[in-house]
Amino acid sequence: MFTGLIETTGTVLSLSPAAGGAMRLIVAAPALAGRWETGDSIAVNGTCLTAIPVQDAGNEHPGRFAADLAEETIRRTTLTRLVPGSLVNLELPTPSGAPMGGHVVQGHVDGVGTLIALEALNADLDRTDWRMTVQAPPALAPSIVQQGSITIDGISLTVAKLHPTAADGSARLEIAVIPHTYKSTNLRSLLSGAEVNLETDVLARYAARQAEFAAVQAPMIDYTLQPAAPRPGGLTIASLIARGY
């Protein structure tokens, strides 16, 4: 499990085809050197990947790691659009019992959104807050809630404003970004039109799925009051009149 609190950024060194139709991503991450072992999970731009050591001519490079991108990862995320030099957000899993910051992040990307704008709110770029606008695909719209959590490229963020659903079913949301988040993540490298990985809040996702299931599966109930059929030997209007009532 992750929390969406980015520990550091890394730099993409290469992205190349691997066996079986997969892709192999190699990232330089000197700040994580010595903090992971082979097979450990690392979230790269919000995508949970399995770390593999990088060897070059028999020499390991502890400041680098590789990860294989399966077909599902390629289909659901932006990782295959990365190029050498791309800045990526990195987070190691949260140890059991550690303080819980951010929100529960699985590293299971739901889909890809588009960065519409990332605007500074004042002229002092070292101290300014930023306003980020993102367009989310229709499939994710039911799980996005105003003042709720969302993960964008692995960053735990809060939906500050949710616009009415568009005609195509997509959702446009605005997010307030503080200076620390802007400086410490890949947001500082993104331009309008960039694609970003989105993971909606897992609690909202389960709630949306339960509501969808209930709407499809719940039987139609007729709440119209119907007169009850008389039971054999029971009281009826006719029997009460016959008895003088």
Q: How confident is the model at residue 228 (pLDDT cuts 50, 70, 90)?
A: low
State the pLDDT at residue 234.
63
Confidence check: pLDDT of 171 > 60: yes
Burial (CB < 10 A; 0-12, 13-18, 19+), residue 187, is buried
Cα–Cα nearest to 54, from 36, 70, 71: 36
Residue 64 pLDDT exceeds 70: yes
Domain ranges in the chain with CATH number 2.40.30.20: 8-91, 111-216
Average pLDDT over residues 34-46: 96
How many C-alpha atoms does 9 have within 13 Å on its Cβ side? 17
Mean pLDDT of 103-111: 94
Residue 212 three-state SS: helix
CA distance 186 to 159: 19
Contacts with 128 (C-beta within 8 Å, 6 or more apart), sequence order? 120, 121, 122, 179
Q: Is 176 exposed, middle or buried (0-12, 13-18, 19+ CB in 10 A)?
A: middle
- The more confidently predicted of residues 121 and 208 is 121
Please state which of the ranges 47-56, 57-66, 233-242 shows the lowest mean pLDDT. 233-242
Its pTM stands at 0.83
Query: Do the beta carbons of residue 79 and residue 16 sit within 8 Å?
Result: no
**Mean pLDDT confidence for 89-93:** 97
- The DSSP bridge partners found for residue 23 are 17, 69
Q: What are the helix (H) ranges across the chain? A: 71-76, 179-184, 202-217, 237-242
Please, what is the average pLDDT of the chain? Answer: 89
Report, as residue numbers or ranges, the catalytic residues.
2, 41, 48, 50, 70, 108, 158
Q: pLDDT band for position 174 (50/70/90)?
A: very high
* Reported confidence tier of residue 232, pLDDT bands at 50, 70, 90: low
Residue (of 50, 40, 99) closest to 73 by Cα position: 50
CATH topology of domain 8-91: Elongation Factor Tu (Ef-tu); domain 3 (2.40.30)
Q: pLDDT confidence of 131, banded at 50, 70, 90?
A: very high
> According to CATH, what is the number of the domain 111-216?
2.40.30.20
Q: Which backbone phi and psi does 214 adopt, to 5 degrees?
A: -65, -40
pLDDT at 165 over 60: yes
Cα 102 to Cα 10, 134, 208, distances in angstroms: 20, 19, 21
